[in-house]
A and B are shown apart, each in its own frame.
Chain A
Amino acid sequence: MPVRTPHFPDLLFGSAARLRRWEAALMGLLAAHGYRELHPSLVLRESIPEGALRFFDGDELVALRWDFTVALAGLLARGFAAPPDRVAYAGAVFRRPIQPWEAVERFEVGCERIQPEGEPSDEADVELACLLMAIPGAIGLKNAILHLGHAALVRRPLEAEGLFGGLADEVVAALSRRAPHRVREVLKGHPSAARLTAHAEALLSELDGPGTLNALGASPYAHLLEGEREHMDRALKALLPILPANLELRVDLADVAGLGFYTGPTLRLWAPGAQQELAAGGRYDRLFPDLGRPWQAAGFCVRLSRLLDLAETRPDLFEPLP
């Protein structure tokens, strides 16, 4: 097994001040839109995943909070008969990194919009997108790009072809690499190979420009995905007129990150030249039903640690601190 020294960064004066300022600005923005803070415990005693930072408290295996959404879902499902409709959070999560340069301790601010199952969700999705569009301005990021995706664009064709488990995971991994040739390799000999490869090519054919959503028309699953296409079209029509001048809105049909979790529209915030997304979220309607609650939810998380790193390496992307 490779041995890697975990990376626990200390924040010196400038970064520490920036973190406090950003946390306050973002929590203020969320509070102004009716989002109330919940603060789940830093120590988890149940549902401890592999990637969490684990240790023994006496004989009991516990872990440091590794994900706010999961921690909040547990808290809400246990303690609330009906959920608060708007929730915000801020703090650190601890997670073993996938890439060696990622830190174990990560600072985040985020929010969640929770509704009873079956309520129309379009308005909540647009509300979250609008909030995410306000994030760059709140933290002094000069320019940003918002990617709008939809998890069902990949999930539904896979389900329609009866593809689940390992093979479906390999198709998703190929799409995550934006590699239609890998989709062809993975599905070689499978009856759906030609259809799913053509679908992958359609999803990947456009990354920006007005034709992006129309690219779905070339997919063999265009009819199956008509509802998702209309949903994204409505979202675009709602968001484009109110787009801030410093923000670009793009449709990313092949966004498959977190596909096992997200069930509907997805949002990702980038800065020009940044190596990692700075905020991410979307709709995850299966989370609460899996915990026995008939609720649907969507939300996003701003990755403050990545923003702090970006401010160190690319200060030109940010307004100077007052």
Chain B
Amino acid sequence: MTAATLLIAFPKGRLGDELVPKLAGTPLALDAAALKSRVLRIPTATPGVAALLLKGADLPRYVAAGVASLGIVGSDTLDELDMDLLELADLGFGACRLSLCAQEGVTLDSLRAKPHLRLATKFPKATEAWLTREGLTAELVPLSSSAELAPLLGLADAIVDLVQTGGTLKAHGLVETAVLGRSSARLVAARGAYLSEPARLRPLAQALITALCGA
């Protein structure tokens, strides 16, 4: 890989698990041998284009700083971080709901009625926006993972978290009491790189859209 290599930031985790098989057989397929190793910079089937595998919460920063020219990240993460990025397409996959979830039997009305509501979440910005819309106040308990445990162990009355199939919620005896928003994978670009060199980046962005959306 040379200094002129174009870098695309791909997410690890849930979105990455959906993304990698979709890219197989396309010009942006990730090198299988490198994927099995522990390296985080992976060649693609297109010479001069490599992928960085990054944690979703870090990914927008790499793109906003121009280290990676393009990236794929969930819209929930984008909304929380509010980085200065271009968002070129809604890729459709990785769709999930951002929901208020509580133990079975706890209703939205009973949560509303609590004089001191405590909500555990890794999405404080979206949660605050929802609370404002609903005219509610709450103590936010910031968590970065395993939020489902919080209501079970008394750390919070409910959680605001992403729900895809509902399997994890069910396993912990939780149910969705309100949907705050929806999230899906988005193709993002570094503002400077995209606006100053569109002829270089547009074909690559289009190749990603074609590979992932078939359009």
Contacts and interface: CB of A to CB of B under 8 A. Distances in A.
A28 B90 CA distance: 48
A71 interface: no
Nearest to A204: B88
Interface stretch (A33-41, A53-61, A78-86, A268-276): A268-276
Interface in B79-95: 83-90
A179 interface: yes
Interface string A252-282: 1000000000000000001111111100000
A13 interface: no
A191 B190 CA distance: 33
Interface stretch (B149-157, B163-171, B191-199): B191-199
Interface in A145-168: 145, 147
B111 to A, nearest CB: 26
Given A270-B192, A273-B192, A275-B193, A177 B86 contact: yes
Contact of A273 (B87, B88, B193): B193
A165 to B, nearest CB: 15
B65 interface: yes
B192 A274 contact: yes
What band does the interface of chain B fall in when counting residues whose beta carbon is under 8 Å from A? 20 to 34
Nearest to B64: A99
A69 B197 CA distance: 30
A145 B195 CA distance: 9
A179 B75 CA distance: 12
A207 interface: yes
B27 interface: no
Nearest to A147: B195
Interface in B112-153: none
Contact of B65 (A145, A270, A275, A277): A275
A96 interface: no
B55 interface: no
| Interface range, A side | 20 to 34
Nearest to A184: B90
A142 interface: no
A207 B190 CA distance: 15
Contact of A207 (B87, B193, B198): B198
B202 interface: yes
B112 to A, nearest CB: 24
B196 A273 contact: yes
A178 B87 contact: yes
A179 B192 contact: no
A299 B194 CA distance: 25
Interface in B165-196: 186, 190-196
A179 B88 contact: yes
Given A98-B84, A101-B65, A207-B202, A275 B89 contact: no
B48 to A, nearest CB: 15
Contact of B198 (A98, A208, A277): A208
Contacts of B194: 178
B196 A274 contact: yes
Contact of B196 (A101, A182, A271): A271
A219 B215 CA distance: 22
Interface string A166-185: 00000000000111011000
Nearest to B69: A273
Nearest to B86: A178
B21 to A, nearest CB: 24
B192 A182 contact: no
Contacts of A208: 198-199
30 contacts: A99-B64, A99-B83, A99-B84, A177-B87, A178-B86, A178-B88, A178-B194, A179-B87, A179-B88, A179-B90, A181-B87, A181-B90, A207-B198, A208-B198, A208-B199, A270-B195, A270-B196, A272-B197, A273-B66, A273-B192, A273-B196, A273-B197, A274-B192, A274-B196, A275-B66, A275-B190, A275-B191, A275-B192, A275-B193, A276-B191
Would you list the 9 A-B pairs with minimal beta carbon distance, nearest first?
A275-B192, A179-B87, A275-B66, A270-B196, A177-B87, A181-B90, A178-B86, A207-B198, A272-B196
Interface of B: 64-66, 83-90, 186, 190-199, 202
Given A99-B64, A145-B196, A178-B88, 18 more contacts: A98-B84, A99-B83, A101-B65, A147-B195, A177-B86, A177-B87, A179-B90, A179-B186, A181-B90, A182-B87, A207-B195, A207-B202, A270-B196, A272-B196, A274-B192, A274-B196, A275-B191, A276-B192
